[in-house]
Structure formats: structure tokens, C-alpha cells
Amino acid sequence: MKPGFWHNRWHENRIGFHQAEVNRFLRRHVDALGPQGTVFVPLCGKSRDMTWLRDQGRAVLGIELSPLAVEAFFREQEIPVDRVGRGEFLEYQAEGITVLLGNYFHLTRALLGPVAAVYDRAALIAMPPAMRRDYAVRMAELTDPGTPVLLVAPFSLKDPDSGPPFAVAETEVRDIFATHFAIDILESERVTVDQDPGLAEQGLAWREETVYRLRRL
């Protein structure tokens, strides 16, 4: 996806991926992120999960392309924030939460600093197949061996080239991450139209949410 696609989505408020509640898999599996240290949240949107993680005592570092998303996050969560330029990025600094405004694919280790863990919900479904491999490679570049990653990825039976949201199958998660990460599945849950009426709008009867625990090799 080109950045313009996401800028438009936020501009038109077409953000069906955003969850009003804290992600239930994050609550269930937060231990997978280890006991302490900064949690990196790539493609963070305006996710409330960041505030929840901070409230668990974790420092949080998100990255997001859309200024509308980042501004909305701090405004809606009523968190006072300072804005500091860092090269091509704008860094939003608040108590316990930092968000870098810019492109994940331009992020370097120097900019990111050390991270203890990664929490990724719905980042992969935001990217077409070719970009997902680059996403995984960059995640390996940005993390130290041993770093745990909690990955929540929805999968549905739909044309794999149509999206976003794109369907991301377990075979693909294994394929793109296996070179640099050990991979375990923590759980998989099927969500039907009754539970998520938004699925019908995408012509889907169900989707499966799979929760992976990766560990950087």
C-alpha cells in the first residue's frame, strides 16, 4: 500500500480495524511480552492497547504513518503530549508512551532504540503480500535475539490479493518470519458475523484470529 492510501483512509474515517475496546488476546497473552522494558507497537493506529500496556507498567513506543491517527490517539486518550522533530519523523512524547509519526519501512535501530518486546495487531493485514516479507525482515533488523513478539493476525477465506484487510494464513506467517524468528501458536479463535457484523460488509461469514508468539533467533 502506498502511504497515500492510509492517509485517505484516516481522512475519510474508514477505520473499521480500530477497536473501541482493548484487544482481548493482548489481555490474555500479555505475559508473552516478558516482564519489563519497552514494548514496540508497529503500525499502531490510535489503538487503545497502547494505553492499556502503559497502565500495566510498560513503556510503549508506537509508529504510525497517519498524523490524524496519532493526533486522535493523544486527544481521545486525553494524554498531554510534546512533539519533537527527529529527522523525517515527528516524535510524540508523553508519560510512558512515545509515538513516532512516519514510515515503518524507514525506521532504523538508532531511531527506535532498544525494545524489549513487540506487540503487533493487524499490521500484516494492512500490507499486500510482497510488503509483508519486507515487514518481517525489518522487524528482525530492529530487534535483538531473544526479543518476544506477540502477533495477532486475522485470517479469512478470501482472495489473498484483495484488501486491506488482507487475509494472512498461518503458512504465510511461518514463511515470512521463520528465517529470523521461532514461531508458536498460542491460540486461534473463529469470529462469526453474529459477533462482528462488520464482516458482512466485506462479504465474509467468518474470520479466524490467530495469536502467535515469535522469538527473535
Ligand X SMILES: C[S@@+](CC[C@H](N)C(=O)[O-])C[C@H]1O[C@@H](n2cnc3c(N)ncnc32)[C@H](O)[C@@H]1O
Residues of this chain that interact with ligand X (CB under 6 A) are 6, 17-18, 43-45, 47, 63-66, 69, 103-105, 121-123, 125-126
Choose among 98, 95, 77, 82: nearest CA to 22: 77
Pairing relationship of beta strands 60-64 and 97-101 according to DSSP bridges: parallel
CB of 105 to ligand X, least distance (A): 5
For residue 179, report the phi and psi dihedrals to the nearest 5 degrees.
-65, -35
CB of 162 to ligand X, least distance (A): 15
CB of 122 to ligand X, least distance (A): 4
Nearest to ligand X of 93, 217 (CB atom)? 93
CB of 120 to ligand X, least distance (A): 7
CB of 39 to ligand X, least distance (A): 13
- Grid cell at residue 162: 484483495
Task: Quickly count: other Cβ atoms within 10 Å of residue 53's Cβ.
Answer: 25
Nearest to ligand X of 145, 201 (CB atom)? 201
Identity (one letter) of the amino acid at 83? R
Q: For 116, what's the count of Cα atoms within 13 Å in the CB-facing half-sphere?
A: 12
CB of 173 to ligand X, least distance (A): 16
Nearest to ligand X of 103, 162 (CB atom)? 103
Nearest to ligand X of 121, 207 (CB atom)? 121
Q: Where are the beta strands (DSSP E) in 20-108?
A: 39-42, 60-64, 82-86, 89-94, 97-101
CA distance 101 to 135: 17
Nearest to ligand X of 56, 217 (CB atom)? 56
Does a cis peptide bond (omega within 30 degrees of 0) precede residue 165? yes
Residue matched to cell numbers 518476544: 148
The answer to whether 33 and 150 have CB atoms below 8 angstroms apart is yes
Nearest to ligand X of 17, 74 (CB atom)? 17
